[in-house]
A and B are shown apart, each in its own frame.
Chain A
Amino acid sequence: MAHQANQRPLSFYLLSSLMAALLVFLYAPMVCVYILSFQGPDGGMSFPMVGWSTHWFEVLFRGTGGQGMGDVPGSFRRSMRLAAFVSVLSMVIAVSAGMAYRRSFPGANFVFYSAITSMVLPGIFVGFGIALTFNLLGWQINWFSSGIGAQLTWSLPFGLLIMFIVLGRFNPAYEEAATDLGANASQRFRMVILPIILPGVIGIFVSSITSSYEESARTQLNVGLGNTMPMEVTGLLTGSSTPVLFAIGTMTTLVMFVFILGAVALMGSMARRRAARPDS
């Protein structure tokens, strides 16, 4: 092995440094946030650090407001509630649509392109449009109606794309084999298709949670009373602020990492279950 390592060409080192530079570029800004979140109680929003403490985390978790801290726990709850509904809905709709697209139907292309187009429409106008339409029809905007709808215009196209890729690689012979063995349509779906595409379905769920949690352009005009996290953070940024913002950033990163690692571990354990089941 050592001999082989010596044989690595120059391009290997060049490309590795390029990759390292890319990672620094991607994560360095966040690292500043993580470091600043441990700013001392008298420190400000920028370097230098005035001592080290967990003071701003304490402020955040005390949840009593003050010290540049708005209604963070409330907006966190609102965001999570929204993310939960949006991700379940995206998952169900994307899987159903993916299954529908396995057969061609009239207008399939039109529906597909309209779904993809909503990804490239400027979010702020989509949000504005939804709010205006609700206003026009005399409906009250609310998180569970216009809020979820606005977020779905963002998370659903991604879910659809993932589903098309997953089902595009699905070998139709599995389904035919199941039919041959006497499975009806619902048994085929439950016992063959769904278990095989499950990693992709979990992928849709996780990507929908993150895209819902961080979405603000479409959400802000449609969510009704109370802020979501991105709106709250934007608000805090523009108002007079304290390093509690950075503590929020650090916590959010942690929560998202736990989510993603959990999902990766779940998919990995499914793959391992397939790869190494013990012999009898």
Chain B
Amino acid sequence: MQLKKRDAPEMTPEIPSDEPRLRQVTKGHRFDVELVALTKAYNAKTLAVDAISLRIPRASYCCLLGPSGCGKTTTLRMLAGHETVTDGAIRIHDEEITHRAPIDRGTSMMFQDYALFPHLTALENVAFSLKVRQVPRKEREAQAREYLELVQMDHLANRLPNQLSGGQQQRVALARSLITRPKVLLLDEPLSALDPFLRTRMRAELKRIQKELGITFVHVTHSQEEALALSDVMVVMNDAKIMQAAPAREIFETPANAFVARFIGGHNVIGRDGKTISVRADRCRIGTGPGLNSIAGEVTMVEYHGPFVQVSVCGEGNTDLTAMMSDAAYFEESPRIGSKVALSWEPAVEHVLGPEAVAFLAK
């Protein structure tokens, strides 16, 4: 273990499984987090968060997803207590904490740029919350070391933040948040500062640590891919409201409305017989067939992705459509840019979209 850690710290995302005392004490509550008509208004006209309600079941990985300015970060900051709540309530483990100080809420926040204190070593950063509670030096350093081990950073305990890489800084920030034994860990775009390779690896590690600790993580992101990969509960927000909150698979298979279908990607949104429907791009193909619904159009772009080929089609009424075809299916037909084609799909894969104003609650 020792050797493995020193040689390739970032390559060993194994969590030591003999850490039962890091697990939270479970109580008889149903939801880890409940938001009740939570509202943030900067003035009478500007609503950053508009009466959103949400229930996050126990020990869930919850992603708040949405375009910038949709209110997801404000929601997270209200959860953390860094932003005052205009109206509504926040409950954590069945306890109302709407107006409590950050430290008394049972939350801990991991900041977007990690906000590690630059003048303190990794160990001192992790031990900070114990130091302010006047825990004796020996004890707090021992505990901090334990949490640094959890994130495989104990071998760099005496480094200062600017001597650490982005991924290492993030691990220290994670340990610093976890040492406060939060009931809910709040993460503000935790992966956005990392390169794509590290991002995928840290993503897996966050999920593993969440499962290991058995607490709820609320993770703000603008990456659909990240949200789909991580979420137990996925919350799509737009314009200060929740568009849909459901398990990731449910959101991808049955998006609530056109916004969700478009934002989550991989869907064609089509108006048909006065209804708006969505059809998954990977269920569409180029060419017609018996019993298939189709739209005529012109190929505008072909992108080869390896296992599949993405064909963009400009359909009737200037709608942008996409077909994700397996490479085999694509090369059977090989449509070129500019060719007149038909984009078709089985009627059974159509999904009728609802109006955008309806908000959905996680069950």
Contacts and interface: CB of A to CB of B under 8 A. Distances in A.
Contacts of B138: none
B118 A274 contact: yes
B75 interface: no
A181 B117 CA distance: 12
Contacts of B176: 177, 181
B113 A171 contact: yes
Contacts of B119: 195-196, 274
Contacts of B128: 178, 181, 183, 191
A182 B101 CA distance: 9
A195 B120 CA distance: 9
Interface in B48-89: 80, 82
A177 B117 contact: yes
Nearest to A181: B129
B48 to A, nearest CB: 17
B102 A179 contact: yes
Contacts of B121: 277
A173 interface: yes
Contacts, number: 77
Interface string A135-177: 0000000000000000000000000000000000001011011
B103 A179 contact: yes
Interface in B161-189: 162-163, 176-177, 180
B361 interface: no
Contacts of B102: 179-180, 182
A177 B179 CA distance: 13
B103 A181 contact: yes
A177 B128 CA distance: 10
Given A183-B132, A196-B117, A176 B111 contact: yes
A184 interface: yes
B160 interface: yes
Contacts of A274: 118-119, 160, 162
A185 to B, nearest CB: 11
Contacts of B108: 180-181
Interface of A: 171, 173-174, 176-184, 187, 191-192, 195-196, 274-280
Interface of B: 80, 82, 101-103, 108-109, 111-113, 115-119, 121, 128-129, 131-133, 156-160, 162-163, 176-177, 180
